[in-house]
């Protein structure tokens, strides 16, 4: 029980950083897992599931707790609130953990954190949840899918109610890790054989044959092909950018918002020379880490604010990749805290920022060259509307996508735009559009 208690305490600390201090979930969880690599695989998996699951279901968990507590979650002390949330998640969704163990360990943690007087309250609320959990009936889709009402309403307006529910439900379903093969560094056969030798489960993406979906391992560094640089963590939706851009040997590719470098390294793998830029040294260091691991010599990094025009690059690039800052609504499944911290009022500001960057990005493209504008969101204001704005206001004309995309996606293209929806397509939510410089 000691190891389990330690795992729960680590999860509690991670969740407090995210939920109470506003830290990014993927950053804090990865830091914790890196620090405690000595833990057994099952303990690391327990922490990961407990953290990600609690974050995914917070809206629903708060409704459940408020149904059985005299003190509403908003009024609780942060440690108690977080402890109850993660414990309620275990009671509702982790069947292998006995209800009695969940309640007992929560009481121990409350006492250990100095809340001896509230341990009875914690025990009472959790025992009530455990007793009544099989008779819960959620009042609406917002509670059922633990998604903010404004998000659901927006998706209902844009895609219809049935699709909106499929999107929301998809964020609660775990997906395997997607990786793209660096085929200039190793053959497909060599990579697959290495994965098989480690008994890693492999499934090929139906969208991009060079993208594999992996499961049955602990963390990427444990995978030999990843350590050798033969694999890059990248979703199939993101890998489509490399295909559609048409980047090839002899091209110069400028990637404006590159970190962690998946698209830039894909262009390098296709033989192009690449300059990968991002706003801070911390972000370019993420790209450099992947460059070193993969061993590419045809890619360099530079710290640069994409909003500021760089005259030295005017008209130099055969391809400009503009995967721009966005609301991230398409990757809530990977970054569940997005559903908690993003506000509807922020969307218009993000769309304006994207237009600001696009205005400079098009100046770097050679006449006849290609600009790819992409986001990992599913909001038309940041996607189709900005693509239409670019055609009307910048020296660009649409590059038709149907001839460039895999057969399975041709019917989903709308001229030069493609919106991929989680729950509808077998990938992250992602938008991409292509333009030719006039």
Which residues are tagged catalytic?
A: 376
On whether 391 is known to bind a ligand per the annotation, the reply is: no
**Residue 335 and residue 328 in contact, taking contact as beta carbons nearer than 8 Å:** yes
**Is 361 labeled as ligand-binding?**
no
**In contact, 220 and 229? CB cutoff 8 Å:** no
Instruction: Report the 10 Å Cβ neighbour count for 319.
Output: 27
Known binding residue 269? Answer is no
Query: Annotated binding residue at 278?
Result: yes
263 is in an annotated binding site: yes
DSSP letter assigned to residue 271: T
Residue 260 assigned as binding residue: yes
Q: Calculate Rg over the CA atoms of the chain.
A: 23
Q: Is residue 348 a contact partner of residue 299, using CB atoms and an 8 Å limit? A: no
The partner residues of 11 in beta bridges, in order of sequence, read none
Nearest one of 358, 319, 332 to 430, comparing CA atoms: 332
Residue 400 near residue 416, CB atoms below 8 Å: yes
Task: Enter the tokens of residue 402.
Answer: 């149907």
Q: Are strands 317-323 and 252-255 parallel, antiparallel or unpaired?
A: parallel
Peptide bond into 260 cis (omega under 30): yes
Place of tokens 């000691």: 2
Q: Does 294 count as an annotated binding residue? A: no
- The CA-atom distances, in angstroms, between 149 and each of 54, 65, 145, 345 are 19, 19, 10, 14
Cα separation, 231 vs 220, whole angstroms: 9
Lookup: tokens for 48: 């990961």
258 among annotated binding-site residues: yes
Distance CA 113, CA 36 (A): 21
310 among annotated binding-site residues = no
Q: Among residues 219, 222, 232, which one has the least CA distance to residue 184?
A: 232
Helix (H) or strand (E) holding 157: helix 149-159
Cα angle for residues 90, 92, 98 (degrees, 5° grid): 55
Cβ(426)–Cβ(203) under 8 Å? no
User: Could you tell me the CA-to-CA distances from 170 to 137, 155, 222, 339, 436 in Å, in that order?
Assistant: 20, 13, 28, 13, 34
Residue 160 is labelled as binding a ligand: no
Residue appearing with tokens 């990248």 = 234
List, in order, residues 6 or more apart from 68 with CB less than 8 Å away.
125, 128, 129, 132
Nearest in space to 269 (alpha carbons), one of 288, 287, 295:
295
Q: Which residues are known binding-site members for S-adenosyl-L-methionine?
A: 257-263, 278, 305, 323
Annotated binding site: 257-263, 278, 305, 323
């Amino acid at each position: 029980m000691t190891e389990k208690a330690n795992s729960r305490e680590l999860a509690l600390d991670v969740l407090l950083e995210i939920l109470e201090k506003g830290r990014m979930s993927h950053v804090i969880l990865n830091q914790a897992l890196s620090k405690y690599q000595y833990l057994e695989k099952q303990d690391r998996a327990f922490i990961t599931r407990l953290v990600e699951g609690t974050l995914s279901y917070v809206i629903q968990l708060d409704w459940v707790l408020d149904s059985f507590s005299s003190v509403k979650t908003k009024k609780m002390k942060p440690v108690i609130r977080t402890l109850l949330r993660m414990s309620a998640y275990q009671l509702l969704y982790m069947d292998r953990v006995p209800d009695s163990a969940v309640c007992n360990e929560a009481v121990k943690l409350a006492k250990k954190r100095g809340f001896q007087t509230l341990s009875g309250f914690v025990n009472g609320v959790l025992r009530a949840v455990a007793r009544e959990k099989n008779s819960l009936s959620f009042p609406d889709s917002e509670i059922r899918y633990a998604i903010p009402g404004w998000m659901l309403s927006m998706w209902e307006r844009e895609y219809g109610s049935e699709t909106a529910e499929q999107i929301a439900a998809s964020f609660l379903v775990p997906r395997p890790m997607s990786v793209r093969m660096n085929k200039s560094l190793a053959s497909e056969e060599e990579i697959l054989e290495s994965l098989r030798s480690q008994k890693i489960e492999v499934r090929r993406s139906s969208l991009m044959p060079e993208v594999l979906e992996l499961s049955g391992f602990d963390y990427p560094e444990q995978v030999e092909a990843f350590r050798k640089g033969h694999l890059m963590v990248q979703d199939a939706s993101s890998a489509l950018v490399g295909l559609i851009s048409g980047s090839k040997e002899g091209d110069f590719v400028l990637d404006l918002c590159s970190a962690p470098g998946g698209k830039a390294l894909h262009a390098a793998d296709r033989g192009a020379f690449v300059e990968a830029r991002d706003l801070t040294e911390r972000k370019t260091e993420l790209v450099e880490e992947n460059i070193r691991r993969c061993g590419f010599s045809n890619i360099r990094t530079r710290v640069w604010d994409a909003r500021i025009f760089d005259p030295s690059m005017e008209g130099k690039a055969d391809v400009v990749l503009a995967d721009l800052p966005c609301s991230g609504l398409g990757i809530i499944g990977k970054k569940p805290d997005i559903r908690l911290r993003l506000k509807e009022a922020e969307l218009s500001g993000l769309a304006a920022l994207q237009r600001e960057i696009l205005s400079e990005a098009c100046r770097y493209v050679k006449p006849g060259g290609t600009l790819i504008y992409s986001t990992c969101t599913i909001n038309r204001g940041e996607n189709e509307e900005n693509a239409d704005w670019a055609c009307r206001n910048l020296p660009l004309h649409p590059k038709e996508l149907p001839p460039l995309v895999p057969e399975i996606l041709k019917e989903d293209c709308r001229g030069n735009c493609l919106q991929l929806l989680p729950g509808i397509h077998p990938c992250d939510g992602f938008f991409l559009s292509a333009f030719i410089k006039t």
